[in-house]
Structure 1
Amino acid sequence: MKIALISVAKDDPSGKGPIGFLPLFDGVIVEHQLLWAVQLGAERIIFLSPSMPGALLQYVDQLKDDGVAAEIVRSAADLMQYATATDEVIFIGDGILPRGEFLDILADNDRELIFVVDNAEQYSDFELIDLNHRWLGVATIQASRLAELADVPDDWDVGSALLRVAVQAGARRESITGTAIANGILAFLQNDDHIAEFEQKRLRNPERVEGNFLSRFLFQPLQNRLIPKLWRMRSSAIYVKVACVGTGLFGVLAAWFGLTGTALILIFLTSVIQDLSQNLTAHRPVSKGRKWLASGALMLATLGLVLIVKNESSLSILWPNIVVLIIVMASLWLAKFRGKDGVLDLIKPDISLIILLFLCFHLLGLFSVGLNVMALFGMAFLIADQIIVSRAEEKRLVSAD
């Protein structure tokens, strides 16, 4: 079993509490550290905190309520009760955010290792190992080594003691270049200045660049500007969820009363706000609320579209149009699992794009035509994507032979 040991032992120099709970625009530092550990396969999260601050106690209680195996220990002597000798421990220091290539390196690793950088003046904030290397605050060791920390005095830094144990055990050193650090493979966040610089880089180079052209070139640039402001507003995530449900319900009501244009606009806003809500909490380890909100928004959009089709169809073509709508929604569901990182990604149909196109056809007085075009578009995307995937698989098999 993999265990993540996250240090929450150091306080911010300006007196704002533990470094791990300094806020980023999409959560606090420990939330990002926990998500990284979970992505790596950690099944248990242990927070190391001699002082046991209230924010940490509340956060761990929240994690436990959501089914995450999380614990708090005060000292090195308490660690062994949560690990067996065969477990692997991944240590993450205070304010350290490993990213990118770290996942690939550790996913393929079966040895004890420490991550280091060459000893240079610009890396003086990192702990010095010897004349050649400084430690980057990330290490992986066997849990059996934790017994060697049992006698460490409570006023010692456990991270430093763990580093000494790893070095004495001959752990492999994985050197990270200065260029990789400058490009963001690891963030060292110890105060507000570090965080401000880190956030500016993230907003200039957002990690989440996916979806079709509508999402990439309209929604995501707008969200990159809006999300940092929303995170500074108390309970903004709740307000966004209420807005999502509210616009969906009003969209259904507008469709019920035959206001097709208004209904389509409100349903389109529902899909946009739902995407915003998902990105607003994208780095949180608890995702139950996001899943329910996404399902609810899709159900409201579908109900609204059914009512719109009913209002816009004569009795003779009502059921054929309902069947076509079912084809459209089925193609959206299937497309969700296709075209990822593919050549057709930019035109991948989703609910926002479909509703926007429906609105355009409605304004032109061609709703029924638009409905059939959307069905053909969805099926054409699936067929073309399958052809591309099949050809890529054939090339892979030929090259393997």
Structure 2
Amino acid sequence: MLAGLIFAIEDATDRPGTLAATLPFGGMTLLEYQVRLLAGAGVEQVFVAVGRMTPALLAAVGRASERDIQVEIVRSAEEAAEKVGDEAVVLVLADGLVTTDTVIERMASGGAEALLVTSDPESAAAIERLDMKDCWAGIARVSGRQLSVIANMPADYDFQSALLRVSVQSGAEHIALTAGQERAGHLVELSAEALSARSNGVLAALTERRTNWADRWVFTPIARLALPELVRRTIPGWSLRVGAALFAAVALGLALYRMPGAGLAVSLLSVAFLATGAAMAALRGEMKRADTLELAITGLFAAMVAATGWASWDAIADWTPVVLSIAAIGSQVLVERVPARPRRWWASPAAHLLILTPLALADYAEAGLAVIAIYAFGTLSAAVEAMREKP
């Protein structure tokens, strides 16, 4: 079994009496964010090691337990050892740790004991020196047996430090924290003000889920600007979904009313709402919802291209626009199903809408359909070739 152990003992440096684990972070508390990361890595049960109970901590644990993962509070190493079991693999997160899915997944991928380390003692991720070279960077992979060893130590031992020392003595592997991971937001922070600033950085990193040129240069910057403000104002995720649905309905109505250019322009607003909503869902650990929202962009693309093809057919009484729309939709759907790593220049639903919109506004909808059909087919060919190169 893969379990998680989060330390929630230290007070915030700028808010005496408030546990750092209960400080706001990314629209939730830091503790809830840490639980989300562990759940995403496949952890089945999370234990929160505490020194004292506070109403904010209890509330955070209650909310975290709603994520289909069991979260329990433990007050000592003895209690943790009893509940975890000797055969379990435990992923340990330090008090005040901020990190990303990539780092957590890397540490959760092995079975043997391991410590995430940094060789820079001045790094914001450095917590405690392990030897002359390395400092602990806030994540450890330990065994349940090691928790049992600490349980037999004197009661005045510091739980986190003792666990670290036992791991070192057992010869745990040192896994280096990379510069890229640190730039992405991995650090230990006990200040409410600093956590707020770092929250925006993590929010920005989540908008990088989609790497196509249209997303990277158009919709990702929009999400990066909007998401921190939405989180700060505690705007619910459903409001973005409602906004996207309303814009999509207006867009389809305009296209079917023989105004495809105006409809496509409005559909871009719906895509922006969906992309931002997907990033917010990813932040909150709702990965299925994030994937669903990204799938909705594909559905909107198909609906708008089909409506544009129909409107063009109705205007010129020629089946060519319909055939081109079917070719574009069919090719792009196949692209989405090819398990090849996307390249930045490849076609995507959002890219097609960006290309088609100005051409339709200029009354060249048929030419726009031809362009995106060729683009989708070219991307499909490249995707198939990529699979042939690396079967």
The question of whether the paired residues in 2 share the 8 Å contact of 1:77 and 1:152 is answered with no
Q: Does 1:393 align with 2:390?
A: yes
Q: Deviations over 1:145-204 (max 9, x none)?
A: 222333567775421232233244x23251647967865683111113543664676689
1:354 equivalent in structure 2: 352
In structure 2, what is the equivalent of residue 161 of structure 1? 162
Q: 1:80 offset after TM fit, Å? A: 3.5
Q: Give the TM-score normalised by the residue count of structure 1.
A: 0.80
Q: CA deviation at 1:52?
A: 4.1
Partner residue of 1:375 out of 369, 373, 381: 373
Q: Counterpart amino acid of 2:52?
A: S
Residues 57-76 of structure 1 show CA distances to partners (whole Å, capped at 9, x for unaligned) of 44444444442233333332
Q: For 2:344, what is the secondary structure of its paired residue?
A: helix
**How far apart, CA to CA, are the structure 2 residues paired with 1:55 and 1:81?**
26
Match of 2:251 in 1: 251
1:229/1:156 CA distance change after superposition, 3 Å: farther
CA distance in 2, matches of 1:78, 1:12: 25
d(CA) in 2 for partners of 1:227, 1:89: 33
Structure 1 residues 340, 190: closer, same or farther in 2, change over 3 A? farther
Q: Which sits farther off after the overlay, 269-278 or 114-123?
A: 114-123
- Point out the more displaced range, 373-382 or 286-295: 286-295
- 5 Å-filtered alignment, 1:313-328, equals 313-314=313-314, 321-328=321-328
Mark the CA change 1:340 to 1:33 in structure 2 (over 3 Å): closer, same or farther.
Answer: farther
Take 2:44 and 2:292, find their aligned partners in 1: how far apart are those partners? 24
The 10-residue stretch of structure 1 (1-10 or 51-60) with the greater mean CA deviation from structure 2: 51-60
Indicate the residue corresponding to 1:9 in structure 2. Answer: 9
Greater CA deviation, 129-138 or 254-263? 129-138
* Aligned mates of 1:268, 1:123 — CA distance in 2: 40
In structure 2, the residue matched to 1:20 is 21
| 1:375 positional shift | 2.0
**Secondary structure of the equivalent of 1:139?**
strand
**CA deviation vs aligned residue, 1:318-354 (integer Å, no higher than 9, x gap):** 7664454333223222323458655xx2322222221
- Answer yes or no: is 1:47 the counterpart of 2:48: yes
Contact kept in structure 2, 1:12 and 1:190, CA below 8 Å:
yes
Q: In the alignment, what sits opposite 2:262?
A: 262
User: Hey, what's the Cα distance between the residues in 1 that align with 2:178 and 2:380?
Assistant: 44
Q: CA shift at 1:389, angstroms?
A: 3.7
Deviation at 1:382, TM superposition (A): 0.7
Aligned counterparts of 2:291 and 2:105: Cα–Cα separation in 1: 27
Letter in 2 for 1:87: A
- 1:92 paired to 2:93: yes
Once structures 1 and 2 are overlaid, which stretch shifts more, 147-156 or 77-86? Answer: 147-156
Secondary structure at the aligned position of 2:309 is classed as helix
In structure 1, list runs of 5 or more residues that go unmatched: 395-401
Amino acid in structure 2 at the alignment position of 1:270: S
The alignment's TM-score, normalised by the length of structure 2, stands at 0.82
Structure 1 counterpart of 2:70, which letter? A
Give the match's secondary structure for 2:326. helix
Pick which of 241-250 and 121-130 moved more.
121-130
What residue in structure 1 maps to residue 220 of structure 2?
220
- 1:93 is displaced (CA, Å) by 0.8
Equivalent residues in 2 for 1:163-202, closer than 5 Å: 163-168=164-169, 170-172=170-172, 174=174, 176=176, 183=183, 186-192=186-192, 194-195=194-195, 198=198
Q: Within 1, Cα distance between the matches of 2:347 and 2:93?
A: 40
Q: Matches of 2:123 and 2:367 in 1, distance apart?
A: 63
Q: Judge conservation of contact 1:52–1:74 (CA < 8 Å) in 2.
A: no
Q: What root-mean-square deviation, in Å, do the aligned CA atoms of Structure 1 and Structure 2 show?
A: 3.8
When residues 73 and 328 of structure 1 are mapped into structure 2, their CA distance, relative to the original with a 3 A threshold, is farther
**Residue of structure 2 equivalent to 1:397:** none
Q: Secondary structure at the residue paired with 1:348?
A: coil
Structure 2: runs of 5+ lacking an equivalent = none
What amino acid maps onto 2:97 in structure 1? I
Looking at structure 1, the residues matched to 308 and 300 of structure 2 have their Cα atoms a distance apart, in angstroms, of 12
> 1:71-150 residue pairs with structure 2 within 5 A?
71-98=72-99, 102=103, 106=107, 109-117=110-118, 120=121, 126-129=127-130, 134-150=135-151
CA distance in 2, matches of 1:214, 1:181: 25
Q: Percent identity?
A: 20
* Structure 1 pair 138–209 and aligned structure 2 pair: CA distance change class (3 A): closer
CA 368–132 in structure 1, closer or farther in 2 if over 3 Å, else same:
closer
Task: Give the Cα separation in 2 of the matches to 1:222 and 1:380.
Answer: 28
Structure 2: distance between partners of 1:256 and 1:54: 54
Contact map agreement 1:5 1:48 (CA 8 A) in 2: yes
Alignment of 1:284-363 (within 5 A): 284-296=284-296, 298-314=298-314, 321-338=321-338, 341=341, 345-363=343-361
